[in-house]
Amino acid sequence: MIYSRIVGTGSYLPPRVMTNADFAARLDTTDAWIRERTGIVQRHIAEKSQTSSDLAFEASRHALAAAGVGAEDMDLIVVATSTPDYVFPSTACLLQSKLGVKGSAAFDVQAVCSGFVYGLATADNFIRAGAAKKALVVGAEVFSRILDWNDRGTCVLFGDGAGAVVLAAGSKPGVHASILRADGSHSGMLSVPGNVCGGAVAGSPFLQMNGQAVFKFAVRVLEESARETVAAADMQLSDIDWLIPHQANVRILDATARKLGLPSEKLVVTVDHHGNTSAASVPLALDEYVRAGKIRAGHRLLLQGVGGGFTWGSNLVTL
Ligand code: UT7
């Protein structure tokens, strides 16, 4: 049997930090409201000149270095993003060029905040099928570009960043199981309902969200997805060393861990200093905990995404 294994992680945050006080200075909001309702204290915001492929490039460099491999060794590059540099070509092709290589397959995955989990499952399937030996999977976002900065209900929630992993074929898992789900009937709950048409944006270029509906949906499906994925891997929830859910709101994270009976020590939380970075949130959180020496080789991780589409899913991984 061929399995895939994460052999290196990396991430990148743009240097500019925006605090809750920065929002309170220009909007009808407070640091206390944002902290209490979301757990967010600060987020990073890309410079105007920085695109998703720039952030992806930095995260990829770190992941490749950690894995001790070169970009030329990649057979596949998957970038999960909802904030691509262009309509086309894909951000993955732009990243491939920035990495100075050519020839590998490269494409984007669009599953909003579940994008990294979808991308990891996709690359895992390539490797299991023997269609790739090494793959770079990246989540990269500049959500600051699609926020209405006058809408206090959404603009305080998000941040920019990128995270990446290198997957390699091996004889032991690695990725034990991935389960991906979607329900397009909820597309209106969280969306940027616009497109480029005839030289202008048709519809809206800004993120719109029914926050309370998203909250309830997320808590329900994160629990379901965790149980389903653990069962598919023939394991128990008690086998999980670290739960790494999409970082949207600390209350969603706490509720999920509580419903699953997992102690707070096993819950990875970075939303306080990253905000919600959509497809970048899970690999950013993973890399931070790996580099801090908290997540180590042999640990069992449950990575989870939920977001626009609606999409959701989990990957159960032994590092
Ligand atoms: O990646 C997945 C995407 N997103 C999520 O997972 C987000 C899921 N949802 C949430 O995290 C929460 O629903 C929010 C943080 C978005 C909102 O928290 P909430 O506890 O559900 O608040 P709410 O929407 O019920 O709003 C409560 C009040 C409202 O005022 P009224 O109508 O009670 O007078 C809002 O207008 O809070 C008001 N409010 C704010 N007040 C101060 C909304 N945003 C703000 C703000 N500052 N930034």
- Give me the DSSP letters along 85-132: SSSSS-HHHHHHHHTT--SSEEEEE--GGGHHHHHHHHHHHHHHTTS-
Mean pLDDT of all residues in 254-259: 98
Q: Which atom from ligand 1 is nearest to the alpha carbon of 214?
A: 8
56 lines ligand 1 (CB under 6 A): no
Neighbours of 56 (CB within 10 A): 31
Beta-strand pair 175-182/190-191: unpaired
C-alpha distances in angstroms, 199 versus 178, 195, 202, 259, 281? 40, 10, 9, 48, 32
The pLDDT assigned to 88 comes to 98
Of 39, 24, 93, whose CA–CA distance to 281 is shortest? 39
Do residues 185 and 90 both lie within one domain?
no
Question: What residues form DSSP beta bridges with 202?
Answer: 195
Q: What's the pLDDT band for 85 if we cut at 50, 70, 90? A: very high
User: Which residues span the domain enclosing 281?
Assistant: 176-318
C-alpha count within 13 angstroms, C-beta hemisphere, residue 208: 11
The pLDDT assigned to 3 comes to 98
Task: Report how far residue 15's alpha carbon sits from residue 265's, in angstroms, rounded to the nearest whole number.
Answer: 29
Q: What percent of the chain has pLDDT over 70?
A: 100
The pLDDT assigned to 57 comes to 98
What digits encode the pLDDT tens for the residues 155-194?
999 999 999 999 999 999 999 999 999 999 999 999 999 9
- CATH code for position 56: 3.40.47.10
Of the residues 118, 149, 172, the one at which a domain ends: 172
How many folded domains does the chain comprise?
2
Mean pLDDT of all residues in 43-66: 98
273 lines ligand 1 (CB under 6 A): no
113 lines ligand 1 (CB under 6 A): yes
Top mutation candidate among 29, 116, 190, 215 for ligand 1, by most atoms within 8 Å of CB: 215
Of the residues 172, 191, 218, the one at which a domain ends: 172
SS3 category, 182: strand
Q: What's the pLDDT band for 281 if we cut at 50, 70, 90? A: very high
The pLDDT assigned to 189 comes to 98
Of the residues 143, 172, 201, the one at which a domain ends: 172
Q: What is the largest CA-CA distance in the chain?
A: 57
Q: How far is the CA of 152 from the centre of ligand 1 (A)?
A: 9
